[in-house]
Amino acid sequence: MATKFFAFQSTFCEILETEAIKYCIPKKYRCYEDPNGLITVCGNEYNCSECCDSVNLKYFIPFETTDTIVIQSKIFDFYNADRETPLDGFGTWIECVVVDLSDGSELDVSNYETAQGKFVGWNGKNSYQLISLDGSLLPDCFKVVYRVYNDESPQDELQELCTQHYKKVECGNTYLMCGIRTGFDSEGNYYGLPTASFGDTPYEYSNCMRFVANIRDAVPEKTIRTVRGANLARTTKYIRRVDIYAVPMFVVKYLENQIISAKNITIDGVLYQAETGTVEAVPESCFFNISFNLISIKNETEC
65 is in which domain, residue-wise? 13-301
Task: Give the C-alpha separation, 204 to 183, whole Å.
Answer: 10
Q: Which residues pair with 289 in a beta bridge?
A: 280
Answer yes or no: is 278 within a domain. yes
Tell me, what's the pLDDT at 214?
95
Instruction: For residue 69, give the H/E element and its range.
Output: strand 68-73
| Residue 12 in this model has a pLDDT that exceeds 80 | no
For the chain, give the mean pLDDT: 84
Q: What region does 61 belong to: left with phi over 0, alpha with psi -120 to 50, or beta?
A: beta
Answer yes or no: is 133 within a domain. yes
Tell me, what's the pLDDT at 139?
96
Q: By the 8 A CB rule, do 94 and 146 touch?
A: yes
Domain tally, the chain = 1
Residues whose CB is less than 8 angstroms from the CB of residue 268 and which lie 6 or more positions away in sequence, other chains included: 175, 176
pLDDT, mean of residues 278-299 = 88
- Mean pLDDT is highest, among 15-19, 79-83, 284-288, for 79-83
Answer yes or no: is 5 within a domain. no
| Residue 7 in this model has a pLDDT that exceeds 50 | no
pTM for the model stands at 0.83
Answer yes or no: is 6 within a domain. no
Q: Within 10 Å of residue 114's Cβ, how many Cβ atoms?
A: 17
Res. 51 pLDDT band, cuts 50 70 90: low
Answer yes or no: is 134 within a domain. yes
Could you report the per-residue pLDDT of 99-151, keeping only the tens digit for each?
Answer: 999 999 999 999 999 989 999 999 999 999 999 999 999 999 999 999 998 76
Answer yes or no: is 3 within a domain. no
E strands within 77-112?
94-100, 106-108
Tell me, what's the pLDDT at 248?
93
